[in-house]
Each structure stands twice: as C-alpha cells, then as structure tokens.
Amino acid sequence: MSDFNSWTNIKDKNIQKQLKMLNEEQKSQNFQTTLGFGTAGMRGEMIFGSGGINEVTVSRLASATAKYMLAHSKTTAVVCYDTRHNSKKFAKIFANILSNNSILVYLFKKYAPTPLCVFATRYKKADIGIMITASHNRREFNGIKIINEVGIQIGNAAQKEISDNFNNIDEVENYNSTYKLKPNNVKFLGDEILKAYLEGDTDTTKKTLTIVYTPLNGTGLEAVTQILKNNEFKYYIPKSQKHRDPDFTTCPYPNPEFVEAFKESLELAKKVDADLIVATDPDADRLGVMIKTGRAYKKLTGNEVGYILLKYLIENYKQENSFVVTSVVSSPLVEDICKKNNIILYKTLTGFKSLGEKAHLEKQKGGEPLLIFEESCGYVVRKNTYDKEGIFATLLICKIAQWLKDKNSSLDQYLKDIYREYGYICTLGDSVKFEGTDSLKRMNDVVDGLRKKPLKRVLEYKVEDTIDYLSDNTGLDKQNFIEYHAGKLSFIIRPSGTEPKLKIYLFYRDENSVRADENANIILNSIKKILNER
C-alpha cells in the first residue's frame, strides 16, 4: 500500500494539484487501503489515493493487464467506456498503455453499453475486452471489467495473474513512466459496431403497445431506442433521464432493481397511459420492469421478470437440448417451472461470471441455453451471448407484452397464470450494512458467529436444514454464504463482494399472495434484527 508521501513523488502536475486539496482526514482515509483487482474486476470511489479509482490506480491496472497479455501472446483488446465522470479519461489511459506494449487496441469513439463492448470483443476477434463502468453504483463510483474472447468475465486464473501483477507494480513509478504516453496502435470503433450488433432483429408488424423507457442517463439510449424503432414500437423517454448525466441528478442510485429508480418514468407513464415501463442501468446490462395493473403500476422483481421470460421461451423456443442457468440466490420457483417442462436447470454461484462460464461449458457439450438469468435483473436471451444483456432483454419483454395485448391479455395476467400453475412465492432481498473503519471485520465476525452459534429459529419458523457453501459439499466452488430452510421459508445470508454489508435473499411460499407478502416482510425484518444484534 502506498502512502500519501510516496504520491508526492508523482510528476504529473494535475495529480499534485489534487493531492494539495486533500485535508488531513482525507489523506488518512484515502490511503488507508489499496484498491485491488478481484473476481468482479475493480470498482471504487473516484478519490485520490491508493484506496480509490483514479489515474494512478487505473494506469497500474492497465500495466498489469498488458503484462498478462504479453505473457500469453494476447495481442488485441477492445476498450469501451460508459457515461460516468472520468470514464473516457480512464479508457484513454488503458488504450495508451496497452498500445505502447505492442497490443492493437480497438477504442470506442464515444461511450457505449457493456453489451456492446462484449459484442465488439467477439466481433473483432479480440483477446480481451475492457469496460470502464461502475454499472448501477452511485455517481461517486467507477470501475473496470475485463472480459475474455468468449464474452465472459475473465476466469479465476487470469484474474489472479493480473491481480498478482498489479500488486507487484510500484504505482508511483509506473505512473511516472506512463502518464505522458500517446496512443501507438489504436483503431477507433464507431456506429458500424452498433449496426452489426442490432442486425437481424427486426419486426415491422403493427404494434399497439405504449412503452416508457429510461436509460437512467446512461449508455442504453441509442441501442435500446434503435432496437425499438426497428421493431415499430411506440415509446416515450423522460427528458430528465434521456441524455448523459454523470451526476445522475434525478436518480442518485441508478439501479433498476429498485422502484425508486422509476420515479421519473412513472410520472411520464401515467401521462401517456403506458402499458409498460422499462429501465436499463447506466451500462445497460440490467433490465428493470414495471407493468400496468388496472390503473396503477407494479414493479416486478428480477425473479418475476425471469419467470415471464422463461415461460414465454419454453412455450415458443424450447428444444430437446434446451437448458436454463440461474444462481443459487434466485427463486426456487424457477426449478419448479423447469422440472414441470422437462428443462435441465443448472444453478451456479452468484455473478454472471459463474453463470456465463456454466452456460458456455454446457453449450460446448451440445446444449442450447434457453435463458440465463440472476435475480438482480440480469438476463441473457440471445444466442451465443454469456454476459447479462439488458438491451435484447428489453426487446423481448416488449415483444411478450405486445403478444399478450394482441390476445387481450397482459403481463400482469401472465404472471398471475404462472403463480396459479406453480404456486405463489414471495422473494425479497435486503441487506445489513456495517459502518466504521472496522466494518469489514465486524461483518465477517457476524458470519463466523452464525457458524459457531447456528440459527435455530426465526420467529415461529424452526430451521430444519442448513447448507454452508464454505464447508459443505455443494458441487460448487467454496463461497462464504449460508442457506437456511424452515418449511415454507428459506433464506440465504452472504457477505457482499464489494461493500461491508450482509445480503439477505428470502423466499416464502403461500397460496395466499397477500398473506405471503405480509409474512415475508415480517420475517425479513426479524432476520435483519438478528444480524444487527449479533
């Protein structure tokens, strides 16, 4: 870990100016930790110091990536960036450092969504893709994802090697030797990539659906509106969220998992009497959905969107070799649907890296993925794609809504039919956050305590079975979370991989949906209380 004094040796006058603006508390806080490169890439607040994502740490990661690529004879890379503060600057740093290490770089001319970066990596037959994005995080954050030639986040071995390279690089020395580099072998990608990406998905039959779409001031605008136009859909966009706004002024937490992200869209939907509201997060790899229920609108959970997509795909596209991939924290109802329809279901650990790797492996064995999805609003509905894809998922949910409207039905009724056939289940997600300098330690202490002194009961629900993904033989890689079963109740507790908080995934079955929702919320609050008191 570098300290403040070592950074004063950086030659870049702009960095020195930023360092001089730090007060004593910021100096201590910003250099307290070192931001590293992990399984989900690099993500952090844009602060000056070893604990933040900034020109110095990005340069260090770019050099570590270049070293990895050269060691494995990888010679081409795609570099893409989102609409956030500094994203374009960080992309140029990556492009300059890679290109000066004899690597051909395809750099996007303007910001673009993560799905387009994934597509371009495969389309240009590049060895890796670099996406500068913090996805759905707040405006203070930025991040870097690295994907392989298949379009999946790099595997554990590659991640470890880049991480080791990163840890062995002196960031001050590295920055001083790289910050003046100019691009050496860079080609620019423009509209031709979007055109190729959207090619073939066109349906000009008459549409009567009215849609409100929001890109949440992110990268989805051009791709989503073009694909809706290609399919003759009528749509409206909230003016305040249409164009780039790196401050996310009207949506401080631009995550389509949560109903708060739909405030502007909901107001517009009521004015235009929309049938459907769809939202993509700032890098457009996630999809959130609100549906019309009578005169009101209802926010669907990520699981509920998954049920709808799955039922439709089974009814219209099922093959003998079809399979579905989801994660262990997604709804158990998916298993019921697959079982009744003779579809093979594979469950993986959380994160699309695990989901994508499993889908690609089974595809190589002769299977055909019908749907890949996780409860946090990530879906893959397109062939030969293995990372979450909010753009084509948006198109599909609109097509389903139109198909139902043509039959005098609706997404609301379709979801009710699913619950009628398979039984109702309430799925809730929440978290307990830990504050302070020792927040990570206290979070881990709580998880350790759950192992030393196991939960026996939550309210009147007696725990009948526990699965510890760290010590039990689950057939999956070891992971630090615990699953509990108590009759009609089941829930999972796991530490976040990026923040000091414990995530809770709760599933509660009851034929009465109102009673199920009420009981599930009471139980969730009880679990949160238990964790806070541990």
CATH number at residue 95: 3.40.120.10
439 and 494 co-located in one domain = yes
Number of structural domains in the chain: 4
Cβ within 8 Å of residue 27, ≥6 positions away: 4, 49
**Which of residues 146, 173, 194 is at a domain's end?**
194
pLDDT, residue 499, reads: 76
pLDDT, residue 1, reads: 52
340 and 460 co-located in one domain = no
229 and 184 co-located in one domain = no
Distances (CA, A) of 5 to 16, 171, 393: 11, 13, 49
How many other C-beta atoms lie within 10 A of the C-beta of residue 474? 16
Q: Does residue 410 fall inside a structural domain? A: no
Distance spanning both ends of the chain, measured CA to CA? 32
Integer Cα distance of 292 and 411 in angstroms: 8
Distances (CA, A) of 61 to 152, 162, 236: 19, 8, 40
Q: Does residue 141 fall inside a structural domain? A: yes
Q: Does residue 501 fall inside a structural domain? A: yes
Are 220 and 242 in contact by the 8 Å Cβ rule? The answer is: no
**Which of residues 194, 225, 260 is at a domain's end?**
194
Q: Does residue 409 fall inside a structural domain? A: no
Cβ within 8 Å of residue 258, ≥6 positions away: 288
pLDDT, residue 200, reads: 83
24 and 155 co-located in one domain = yes
Integer Cα distance of 291 and 307 in angstroms: 14
278 and 344 co-located in one domain = no
Q: Does residue 414 fall inside a structural domain? A: no
Q: Report residue 25: phi and psi, to 5°.
A: -65, -40
Integer Cα distance of 429 and 298 in angstroms: 17
Integer Cα distance of 458 and 351 in angstroms: 28
21 and 120 co-located in one domain = yes
Q: Which of these, 161, 184, 180, lies nearest to 68 by C-alpha position?
A: 161
pTM beyond cutoff 0.85: yes
Are 389 and 441 in contact by the 8 Å Cβ rule? The answer is: no
State how beta strands 425-433 and 501-509 pair. Answer: antiparallel
Are 457 and 467 in contact by the 8 Å Cβ rule? The answer is: no
Integer Cα distance of 488 and 150 in angstroms: 40
Which residues, listed in sequence order, are joined to residue 199 by a DSSP beta bridge?
none
Are 147 and 161 in contact by the 8 Å Cβ rule? The answer is: no
216 and 358 co-located in one domain = no
307 and 295 co-located in one domain = no
8 and 120 co-located in one domain = yes
293 and 313 co-located in one domain = no
Integer Cα distance of 345 and 356 in angstroms: 14
Q: Does residue 523 fall inside a structural domain? A: yes
Are 35 and 42 in contact by the 8 Å Cβ rule? The answer is: yes
Structure tokens at 28: 């201590």
Q: Does residue 41 fall inside a structural domain? A: yes
Beta strands in 227-357 (DSSP E): 234-236, 276-280, 287-293, 296-299, 322-327, 344-348
pLDDT, residue 256, reads: 96
pLDDT, residue 32, reads: 87
105 and 149 co-located in one domain = yes
Q: Report residue 194: phi and psi, to 5°.
A: -65, -40
Q: Does residue 15 fall inside a structural domain? A: yes
Q: Which pLDDT tens digits describe the chain residue by residue (534 residues)?
A: 578 999 999 999 999 999 999 999 999 889 988 899 987 799 999 999 999 999 999 999 999 999 999 999 999 999 999 999 999 999 999 999 999 999 999 999 999 999 999 999 999 999 999 999 999 999 999 999 999 999 999 999 999 999 999 999 999 999 999 999 999 999 999 999 999 999 987 888 889 999 999 999 999 999 999 999 999 999 999 999 999 999 999 999 999 999 999 999 999 999 999 999 999 999 999 999 999 999 899 999 999 999 999 999 999 999 999 999 999 999 999 999 999 999 999 999 999 999 999 999 999 999 999 999 999 999 999 999 999 999 999 999 999 999 999 999 999 999 999 999 999 999 999 999 998 878 888 998 999 999 999 999 999 999 999 999 999 999 999 999 999 999 999 999 999 876 789 999 999 999 999 999 999 999 999 999 999 988
CATH number at residue 441: 3.30.310.50
Range of the domain at 331: 302-388
CA geometry: angle at 306 spanning 355 and 526, to 5°? 90
Cβ within 8 Å of residue 521, ≥6 positions away: 428
Q: Which of these, 304, 316, 317, lies nearest to 379 by C-alpha position?
A: 304
165 and 24 co-located in one domain = yes
